[in-house]
Amino acid sequence: MLHANAQSADTIKITEKNINTDYLREGTHRYLVYVKMNKNASRTFVQFWTRKIEKTTIGDRPVIKISQEWEDKDTVIHTTTSVSDAKTLKPITHEYWWKQRGSGFVDIEKKELVLNGIKVLEDDSSKARRVSLAALHSCDGKFFFNWHLDLETFPILPYKKGLSVSIPFYEPGFSTPLTEVVYTVSGSGELTGYNDQKIDCWILSHEEKGNKEVFWISKKTREVLKLEQEINGKTYRYKIKLGYSI
């Protein structure tokens, strides 16, 4: 997990008042994710992430439903279904399954947590489950985003060169409490796409000890097109948005 950067005077806190969920593009989006153990090494830990965005309603409430499926080689290793408010992207529910870790369901509004079929209570016999419940309670009365939807959160942010934004994130079902993470719009860059298409991008950066992230975000569509992550100066992780989702 990442941790919060120190905020500077020109950092703005992201709230429901300075985002725009209209930038989220419905449909299926797929990413190639891989790691290099050094910059010149072969790619390893190759995965494909499929993310489906749907603007719909539950009851009479407009929501945004985001489904994810992560594939490792020939096996699905992780799935999620996240439901958020349509206007603010504030989480409502989050359901997940990990191949090695099991399943969970988090009702953020009701502050209810179910882990591997067990409803977690404050006097739960498992310390790990109690800590995860305490993390959920750390969100009480506060505005925040689902950290598992970072690729869908970045498109809705305000962008201006030099602007730093402090984003309140919570990872539903995990032990990390509500956390403020600072990202900086460090400038612009250009990617080359199919047919030599030039794609003008915002560069969004986050850096802390042992971790440096650089996101490339299309100025036209606001989609996250690429992540370059450097871990402890020797491991490199990449996410690349694929042009076609078959």
> What per-residue confidence (pLDDT) applies to 204?
98
The domain locations on the chain are 11-241
Three-state DSSP at 198 gives: strand
Contact 230, 236 (CB under 8 A): yes
Amino acid at 75: T
Give pLDDT tens digits for 209-233: 999 999 999 999 999 999 999 999 9
Share of the chain above pLDDT 90, in %: 90
Contact 106, 121 (CB under 8 A): no
Give pLDDT tens digits for 126-163: 999 999 999 999 999 999 999 999 999 999 999 999 99
- Give the single-character DSSP code of 173: T
- Report in angstroms the alpha-carbon separations of 154 from 78, 101, 165, 180, 191: 22, 27, 10, 14, 18
Contact 66, 94 (CB under 8 A): no
Per-residue pLDDT averaged across 69-91, rounded?
96
142: enclosing H helix or E strand: none
Per-residue pLDDT averaged across 13-18, rounded?
95
153: enclosing H helix or E strand: helix 150-153
> What per-residue confidence (pLDDT) applies to 243?
87
214 burial level (CB within 10 Å; 0-12, 13-18, 19+): middle
Cα–Cα nearest to 25, from 64, 71, 73: 64
Give pLDDT tens digits for 159-191: 999 999 999 999 999 999 999 999 999 999 999
